[in-house]
Amino acid sequence: MSDLAREITPVNIEEELKSSYLDYAMSVIVGRALPDVRDGLKPVHRRVLYAMNVLGNDWNKAYKKSARVVGDVIG
């Protein structure tokens, strides 16, 4: 038997999926879905506002299409 085969431990697939999904779901909720206490913004909204600021998208200047801002945020 190889060393790799000795390191593999059998697990119950249902229990592993439950715990893995719960860990992932909690990280998404905490990291992306809940607004931040400091400013009430979600991370995606903060990135959009920052991109608009970098572009100089102010109230007293010519408008820019939203696709430009989204393109800058997405990359």
Q: Quick: pLDDT tens for 15-65.
A: 999 999 999 999 999 888 889 889 999 999 999 999 999 999 999 999 889
> Does 74 score more than 80 pLDDT?
yes
Looking at residue 8, its pLDDT comes to 83
Confidence category of residue 1, pLDDT binned at 50, 70, 90: low
Q: Where are the domains of the chain?
A: 13-74
Q: Name the pTM for this structure.
A: 0.64
Cα 18 from Cα 21, distance rounded (Å): 5
Residues 6+ apart with CB under 8 A from 51: 69, 72, 73
Exposed (0-12), middle (13-18) or buried (19+): which is 73, by Cβ within 10 Å? middle
